[in-house]
Structure 1
Amino acid sequence: MSESPLFEVELYVFEGTSGSFRLTPHEFDVEIGGERYERCPLERSALALGAEAAKSALELTLPPDHALVRHLLQATLIGEATAVRLRIARRDAWGDAWWLSGTRWMGRVLGVEVADDAARIRCESAQVSLKRIGLRRLYSRACSHVLYSAACGATPISASAEVIRSEGRQVELASLPPEVAGMLAGGWLQTPAGARHMIVSESTAGVELLYPVGLAPQTPVDLVAGCDHSVSTCAARFDNLANYGGFPFIPSKNPFSTGVF
């Protein structure tokens, strides 16, 4: 005979360098060992059964304005990894005390997709990650570091501005701060709520974003400079050539097709 859902609940733990979240998809908060798992309208994809359960991918769906979504979007921009654990808690039949009975799934966040009605978090199992070849960096001329990440080490260049109006992907600003003028392509616009929107290009009137956004007039925003991952930009804009992650001196002549001499 199956147990009542009230005696078994799922708990989600999201942990990264800059913060952690503890959520439960049920209609009540769960407190275990002094840690509170807050209720959240969160749904997950089905997990595989048997030996394949731990290897299966996990897709989570939750409201697009949830604090976890904003946190993961910011973590993605700086290259921060976020671990995910799906745990099970049970409650004693004779009391209200909850206790952890095990871990059903664990892995890491791969990415976040935000739509008008929902946000989807794609997660990868830890077993899949462990089976990959250790070296993941690309051997390329351009730098492969995520801008402003720990590997990059560059100091962010930013300035404040005020929105006059926004229409689709175009955001018109009262003035373009000289501190970041000519540097915004590849950077982002950050709202007072902490949401970040990638900047595709800039003009004297404002910036063009990757996705449409609605911003009210007189909204203060932060503009953060971007990078084209070239040697010249790394040196001139950020004075960060010591951490450059590309290989600009890869020989352009292929000895197998042109000969060594």
Structure 2
Amino acid sequence: MSNQPMMEVELYAFNSASGQFLLTPHEFDVDLDGNLYASLSLERNELALGAEAAKSALELKLPPDCDLVRHLLATSVTGETTSITLRIGRRESGDSSGSDYWWISGTRWMGRVLGVEIAEDAARIRCESAQVSLKRIGLRRLYSRKCSHVLYSSACGAAQISASSSVASTDARNVELDGGVPAVVRGGLAGGWLQTPQGARHMIVTDYGSGVELLYPVAIESGSEVLLTVGCDHSTTTCASRFNNLDNYGGFPAIPSKNPFSTGVF
């Protein structure tokens, strides 16, 4: 056996219905039983020690242009849930030749992704522990004036409104389109997305006639055919006028604005 000391690394597994991402902050890729954990600049917050570690919230910091971030932005639009498991991998010499052998020594944390925030230099992923989710009493859906359904999800039921266009040029977050924004989606793209031929989705902040402004900078080759999908501000007016979908509206616009416990009944 080799005298090489045992090495311990963290292994992150992100799983959803439409994709799987295996990552490690180790300086090299980790091949474990045929599963390749790709090396990525990945940082996390400090977790509590002992039994409380499993209940802690997990926050990750990683490059904003990686495939995982693009996937999470796309699933945030469709309402798809992504689970995350943090395991500990260990390496030791497998034979006299000194070849590496990786094995999983335990699971440190399990939960689900709550959301992702994009900045110019980094992306931050917020995750909730599975123990916290299971112990939450009642339904997770919010009681609010505006609709809480994810647009185009099964609960929403709205028919997707999209149009194709060709990219003229890109400048940081702005994408200019040949002929401008198509009339069928013009004025309604805020909160929607731009989808590239490779399937990557980029959230649209607003459209301005000749093009669209995205949430974060992108580089799309001129001449590329993209798909523009209409967004929603989750109001009753938009639900009725844009989608004709008021029967499925998930908000409660008639919630009283006066609180009888603070203002009195009369």
> Of the candidates 110, 115, 120, which is equivalent to residue 124 of structure 2?
120
- Paired position in structure 1 for 2:206: 201
Match of 1:109, SS?
strand
- Counterpart residue identity of residue 183, structure 1: G
Task: Provide the identity percentage.
Answer: 65
Q: What is the CA distance between 1:195 and its match in structure 2?
A: 4.1
- Paired position in structure 1 for 2:32: 31
Deviations 1:131-169 (A, max 9, x none): 333323232332111212232232321111123344455
Q: Is 2:70–2:202's contact at 8 Å kept on the other side of the alignment?
A: no
Q: What is the CA distance between 1:223 and its match in structure 2?
A: 0.9
Q: Is 1:30–1:37's contact at 8 Å kept on the other side of the alignment?
A: yes
Q: Is 1:86–1:106's contact at 8 Å kept on the other side of the alignment?
A: yes
Q: Is 1:62–1:118's contact at 8 Å kept on the other side of the alignment?
A: yes
- Paired position in structure 1 for 2:225: 220
Distance 1:194-1:90 versus aligned 2 partners, 3 A rule: same
Distance 2:215 2:172 in 1: 10
Task: Give the alignment's TM-score, normalised by structure 2.
Answer: 0.80
- Counterpart residue identity of residue 57, structure 1: A
Deviations 1:52-103 (A, max 9, x none): 2112222223332221111111112222221111112334554444333221
Distance 1:197 1:69 in 2: 10
- Counterpart residue identity of residue 4, structure 1: P
- Paired position in structure 2 for 1:139: 143
Task: Give the alignment's TM-score, normalised by structure 1.
Answer: 0.81
Does residue 109 (structure 1) correspond to residue 113 (structure 2)? The answer is yes
Q: What is the CA distance between 1:125 and its match in structure 2?
A: 1.9
Task: Give me the CA root mean square deviation.
Answer: 2.9
Distance 1:164 1:80 in 2: 32
Distance 1:211 1:39 in 2: 24
Does residue 67 (structure 1) correspond to residue 67 (structure 2)? The answer is yes
- Counterpart residue identity of residue 41, structure 1: S
- Stretches of 4+ moved more than 6 A in 1? 252-256
Distance 1:67 1:103 in 2: 24
Does residue 86 (structure 1) correspond to residue 86 (structure 2)? The answer is yes
> Of the candidates 247, 250, 264, which is equivalent to residue 245 of structure 1?
250
Pairing of 1:182-201 with structure 2 (within 5 A): 182-201=187-206
- Counterpart residue identity of residue 163, structure 2: A
Does residue 48 (structure 1) correspond to residue 20 (structure 2)? The answer is no
- Counterpart residue identity of residue 23, structure 2: L
Alignment length (residue pairs):
255
Distance 1:195-1:116 versus aligned 2 partners, 3 A rule: farther
Match of 2:87, SS?
strand
